[in-house]
Structure 1
Amino acid sequence: MAGEAIDRESESSPGDLSRLLARVQRAGDHAESVSLKAILDSLGRRSFAPFLLVAGLVTLAPLIGDIPGVPTLMAMLVVLAAAQLLAGREHIWLPSWLLRRRVSRARFIAVIRWMQRPARWIDRLLKPRLTLLIRQPAHLPVAMTSLLIALAMPPMEVVPFTANGAGLALTLFALALLAHDGLMALLGYLLTFGTLALVIVGLA
């Protein structure tokens, strides 16, 4: 069931960002490039949060998130994962062409190192609280809002800074699920609607 996928967050992944980044850094071992499949496999694909976390961090990251088309690619990842979660699928399927997308290891490691310092600061803020905002059935609005963000991400590529806002919102939702922190989910909702408002104004 969809709720079970959310409830398994604490079983499938660590609840802090620093350990998650350490796990991701080992993705693909010592290959010259790292695939999306290797990154997701390093986090575990039995739950929704890793999909949100990868999409959010990649969209936020310099050297990768600024590449044209990357926010749209991450949007596709979230759309597929969120739609299957809302449909009640227990295991999330992704097409092989998406899983084969790769980035050079040098760029990948540079991004991970860039994230490590803010990750330690973020970890000090995370703790279980306001859990009613992420427990069933409140996990469904998280999935629906993530889907809304993803559907709006392609136009964000032409409105400055809005894709970064979307990436941060997805990251907040992922951390909320992993750390059982409803405050992160609340911040994610606020950031989502603020970002969508900027997109509407920017496209008007």
Structure 2
Amino acid sequence: MDVAGSAAAREGAAHAPPDAEPGHQRKDDVTVGDLLDQAQHAGFGFLFALLAVLSIPAVGLSTPFGLALAIGGVQMVVGLRSPWMPGLIRRRRLPIRLLHWMHETLPRWTQWLARMVRPRLTFLLRGPLWSLCGLAVILQGLGLALPLPIPGSNLIFAIPVILYAIAVLEDDGLLVAICHAIVLGQVALAVIMWDLIVQAVKALFA
């Protein structure tokens, strides 16, 4: 995340583990809007990567950032090629320590993938199939927005979004297809779990 790294370096904060309590704000914090304005050329790819990564370690931010992802997905569904975010999201302040964490951690997570992605099967990112990507992001965003009482549950939804973001940035249709397969697996698992819950409830009250 070069934009995050440059923002963090510009503010000169000390490197430390992220601390993203919603009420914890410092005058040298930056906003989501600041980062988006610096990366306008990267469009949805940067937006999705930023919001997904921020939702992983941050306390209390997965719900608003998940909803922001869903908003971005809706814009893809209707055919927009560059994102718009409401002021409520753009004004959200981000601790500099969180940006340092992103700058140091994300490259380690994605360096293996960077050697593999390239422009290919680009038709999967065009026309109606672009909207299909948006629908998948909506599902992941809504999943992130759910306050699931499961440690690490954010990763279930954040990782596919990060992969979609890389696919959009690199125009890699093969990676998009892999992401679609992951989402289909999530949907199938959700249907199975829901059926099991319904059957258990019926058995309980039978």
TM-score, normalised via structure 2 length:
0.74
CA 1:164 to 1:92, structure 2 compared with 1: closer, same or farther past 3 Å? same
Which is further off, 125-134 or 170-179?
125-134
Return the match for 2:47 from 46, 51, 61.
51
CA distance in 1, matches of 2:185, 2:54: 20
CA distance in 1, matches of 2:67, 2:156: 17
Residue pairs, 1:1-204, within 5 angstroms: 21-27=1-7, 29-30=10-11, 32-44=28-40, 47-60=43-56, 62=57, 64=58, 67=59, 69-89=60-80, 92-155=83-146, 157-198=148-189, 201=193, 204=197
Deviations 1:9-30 (A, max 9, x none): xxxxxxxxxxxx1233123732
Per the alignment, residue 203 of structure 2 pairs with none
CA distance in 1, matches of 2:78, 2:113: 32
CA distance in 2, matches of 1:41, 1:197: 38
CA distance in 2, matches of 1:153, 1:32: 28
Larger Rg: 2
Structure 2: tracts of 5 or more residues without a match: 12-26, 198-206
CA distance in 2, matches of 1:117, 1:46: 21
CA 1:91 to 1:27, structure 2 compared with 1: closer, same or farther past 3 Å? same
CA 1:115 to 1:130, structure 2 compared with 1: closer, same or farther past 3 Å? same
Moved over 4 A (4+): 88-91, 196-200
CA 1:184 to 1:148, structure 2 compared with 1: closer, same or farther past 3 Å? same
CA 1:118 to 1:46, structure 2 compared with 1: closer, same or farther past 3 Å? closer
CA distance in 2, matches of 1:190, 1:169: 10
TM-score, normalised via structure 1 length:
0.74
CA distance in 2, matches of 1:156, 1:197: 21
CA distance in 1, matches of 2:92, 2:179: 27
What is the percentage of aligned positions where both structures have the same residue? 22
CA distance in 2, matches of 1:135, 1:84: 14
CA distance in 1, matches of 2:155, 2:190: 12
1:85 CA displacement: 3.2
Deviations 1:22-69 (A, max 9, x none): 233123732721211112122216732222121222234x3x2xx1x3
Structure 1: tracts of 5 or more residues without a match: 1-20
CA distance in 1, matches of 2:66, 2:128: 24
Residue 22 of structure 1 aligns with an amino acid whose one-letter code is D
What number of residue pairs does the alignment pair up?
Answer: 179
CA distance in 1, matches of 2:42, 2:101: 27
